[in-house]
């Protein structure tokens, strides 16, 4: 018989809640908290509830870990560096032209059929 049930039976016989709780080794506050939480549940359902709560907590931790991993991967995939000459309008840099770039040397600009495409850095500024 569960403790909650034992206290309820003893209270039905006319005993006082503080005395019964003391005999069972639980605080009166614990009894009332359990009564609020598990009131009319049978022990099997209470065990199922506890099991589901543990599983839910574990799944929440997994989701948080996954979200953190995704954030780390997004940060790692973002290009970093200074804005290129084409993005800032600075044509004074004298770096050698490389195939596929606009000549700024940063490698952040790619020549396409419609012109120069600039990638964006993690602050949202064009590189």
Q: What is the rounded distance in angstroms from the CA atom of residue 19 to the CA atom of residue 68?
A: 50
pTM for the full predicted model = 0.40
Q: Which residues of 17-26 are buried (b: 16+ CB within 10 A; e: fewer)?
A: eeebbeeeeb
Q: Is 102 exposed, middle or buried (0-12, 13-18, 19+ CB in 10 A)?
A: buried
pLDDT-based confidence at 92, cuts 50/70/90? low
Grouping H, G, I as helix, E, B as strand and the rest as coil, residue 120 is: strand
Tens-place pLDDT, residues 47-74: 898 899 999 999 999 999 999 999 999 9
Beta bridge partners of 126: 120
Residue 50 phi/psi, 5-degree rounding, is -60, -45
């Amino acid at each position: 018989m569960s403790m909650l049930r034992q206290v309820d039976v003893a209270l039905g016989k006319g005993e006082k809640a503080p005395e019964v709780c003391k005999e069972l080794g639980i605080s009166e506050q614990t009894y009332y908290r359990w009564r609020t939480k598990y009131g009319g549940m049978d022990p099997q359902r209470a065990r199922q509830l506890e099991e589901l709560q543990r599983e839910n907590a574990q799944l929440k931790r997994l989701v948080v870990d996954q979200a953190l991993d995704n954030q780390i991967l997004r940060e790692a995939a973002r290009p970093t560096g200074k804005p290129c000459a084409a993005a800032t309008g600075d044509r004074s840099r004298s770096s050698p032209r490389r195939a596929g770039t606009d000549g700024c040397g940063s490698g952040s600009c790619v020549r396409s059929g419609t012109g120069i495409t600039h990638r964006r850095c993690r602050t949202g500024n064009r590189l």
